[in-house]
């Protein structure tokens, strides 16, 4: 089992990864998220402030190092991503806000009043409370530029695409 903690001034998130081929014991839990991959092999348990547990069953290609979380304290929304899924969870209501099935999740970053999710073939822009604002297709290698209108991606394969602010 691989375990670590992420902390900021208002949240502590414990993340535990374990190899798993049958997550049936977790399927009836409050928040269970499952990748649509037929090769899922990792069960990740996130414990938020010792009160909320989120179970994620996904395909890890090597180790659990590609699992990313971003917590927005002002809206109490937890963003998470790994492998071929990304999700948004309301930590106040203890419920899943949204789920995306992606080709390969890369990272979550905060861009001013938005959360940017980057990936292998798709990128998404969310409000701080987890609502999807826009999405766009990308293909690596791509360059990214933050502008006043949104986030511009340029690739030799796809050309220029945008995530527009609302």
Let me know: does 129 contact 137? Beta carbons within 8 Å.
no
| Token pair of 62 as six digits | 């090597």
112: Cβ–Cβ under 8 A, 6 or more apart, which residues? none
Of 150, 142, 97, nearest to 118 (Cα)?
142
Confidence of residue 7 (pLDDT cuts 50, 70, 90): confident
66: Cβ–Cβ under 8 A, 6 or more apart, which residues? 60, 82, 83, 105
| Token pair of 61 as six digits | 């290609």
What's the average model confidence in pLDDT over 7-31? 89
Let me know: does 124 contact 85? Beta carbons within 8 Å.
no
> How high is the pLDDT of residue 155?
95
- The C-alpha atoms of residue 74 and residue 87 are separated, in whole angstroms, by 18
| Token pair of 56 as six digits | 């994620």
CATH number for the domain formed by residue range(s) 2-138 = 2.40.10.480
Q: pLDDT tens for residues 59-102?
A: 987 654 578 999 999 999 999 999 999 999 999 999 999 999 99
Q: pLDDT tens for residues 101-123?
A: 999 999 999 998 999 999 999 99
Give burial (CB, 10 Å; 0-12/13-18/19+) of 57: buried
What is the value of pTM for the model shown?
0.93
Q: Is the pLDDT of residue 124 over 80?
A: yes
Domain ranges across the chain: 2-138
Secondary structure element (H or E) that encloses residue 125, with its range: strand 122-127
- Length, in residues, of the chain: 166
Q: pLDDT tens for residues 22-42?
A: 999 888 888 999 999 999 999
């Amino acid at each position: 089992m691989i375990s670590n903690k992420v902390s900021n001034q208002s949240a502590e998130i414990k993340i535990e990864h374990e190899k798993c081929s049958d997550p049936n014991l977790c399927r009836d839990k409050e928040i269970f998220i499952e990748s649509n991959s037929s090769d899922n092999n990792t069960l990740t348990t996130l414990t938020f402030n010792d009160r909320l547990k989120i179970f994620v069953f996904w395909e890890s290609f090597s180790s659990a190092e590609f699992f990313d979380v971003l917590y927005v304290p002002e809206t109490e929304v937890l963003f998470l991503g790994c492998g071929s899924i990304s999700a948004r969870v309301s930590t106040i209501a203890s419920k899943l806000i949204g789920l995306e099935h992606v080709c390969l999740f890369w990272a979550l970053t905060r861009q001013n009043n938005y959360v940017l999710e980057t990936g292998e073939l798709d990128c998404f822009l969310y409000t701080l409370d987890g609502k999807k604002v826009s999405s766009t297709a990308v293909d690596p290698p791509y360059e990214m530029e933050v502008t006043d209108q949104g986030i511009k991606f340029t690739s030799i394969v796809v050309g220029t695409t945008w995530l527009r602010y609302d």
